[in-house]
Amino acid sequence: MAGNNDKRVIVCSNPSCQKKWVPGQPNFKSCSQCGQAKYCSKECQRTHWKQHKRACKKKAQQIQQQQNQSQQSIKSSQVSQSSHEKSVTSPKLNQNKKQQNPSNSPQLKQGKKQQSPKLNNQSNNTRTTSPSRNEKESKNGKDIKNEKEVKNEKEVKNEKETRNNNKESRNDSNDQKKLLSEIAALKLERQNLLLDKQDALLFLEQTKITFAKQNEKMEEFTERLRSTLNKVELVHKSLESVKAIC
């Protein structure tokens, strides 16, 4: 947010406020992105931000584009000036080079002509000795090629062996993983079976206990029946004796 010292009438951009700036009061602060919207306080800026957001972004993009264009124009002008300076200085440099390089002088040309027969004789002598050297070089080149081919073949074989070893190691690792997974599954099954066995044993114990309780109850019930039957017999006998007396 930057201050604004315009003499025209300045109104707060918040439509719910619309407070006017009066001379002698502190200046309204403008939006830091677009620079157009002006606010009397931070609260007005916060309340108006939702409405001002889109327009602010568009204006900020326009300002950035203008700045980029101005920078590009400045760079292009600098490049054109530097190219013009180079074109101006190039003829002078060429003249200085000609003055510094006296290789094309007539005296040097005559000296080269005098030295040329000696050089021709030396070249003829080298030509006579060149076939043997060429043969040696060709042999050496063939040997080098053969060595390179052998090295390449060895490298290819080594690469194949390493690939095969890697494949075997991967297969072994996969087999080990499968075995470990199967072992883990078997362990889980064993644990489940043990749990099932324990549950079955508990169920058997509970059934035995319940069966024993029921037997006890049945025995008690049979004893009660016997006692009642005995009582009934006694009552029946007493009734018969009473009838006989009567």
pLDDT in tens, 97-129: 555 554 455 554 555 445 555 455 555 555 544
> Strand order in 29-30's β-sheet?
2-3, 29-30, 38-39
Kindly indicate the confidence band of residue 86, based on its pLDDT and cuts at 50, 70 and 90.
low
Is pLDDT at 53 greater than 60 in this prediction?
A: yes
Neighbouring-strand partners of residue 29 = 3, 39
Alpha helices, DSSP H only, in the chain? 42-100, 106-245
Q: Is residue 207 pLDDT above 60, yes or no?
A: yes
Max CA pair span of the chain: 188
Q: Which two tokens stand for residue 48?
A: 């108006």
Would the pLDDT of 68 be above 80? yes
The token pair at 130 is 């060149």
Sequence-distant contacts of 102-109: CB under 8 A, at least 24 apart: none
Q: For position 78, what pLDDT does the model report? A: 77
* Cβ neighbour number for residue 14 with a 10 Å cutoff: 22
Q: What Å distances lie between residue 114 and 6, 103, 120, CA to CA?
A: 89, 16, 11
**Residue 93 pLDDT level (bands cut at 50, 70, 90):** low
Q: Is the pLDDT at 25 greater than 60, yes or no?
A: yes
Sign of the CA dihedral running 80, 82, 88, 90: negative
Domain ranges of the chain: 2-89
Query: What is the distance between the alpha carbons of residues 94 and 74, in angstroms, rounded to a whole number?
Result: 31
- Other CB atoms within 10 A of residue 137 CB: 11
Strand, coil or helix: 39: strand
pLDDT, average across residues 172-195: 87
Cβ atoms of 49 and 28 closer than 8 Å: no
- Residue 75 or 140, more confident: 75
* pLDDT given for residue 107 in this prediction: 52
Average pLDDT of the segment spanning 197-218: 90
CA-to-CA distance for 144 and 134, rounded, in angstroms?
15
Query: What is the DSSP annotation of 72-94?
Result: HHHHHHHHHHHHHHHHHHHHHHH
The tokens describing 24, both together, are 């002698």
Query: What per-residue confidence (pLDDT) applies to 167?
Result: 80
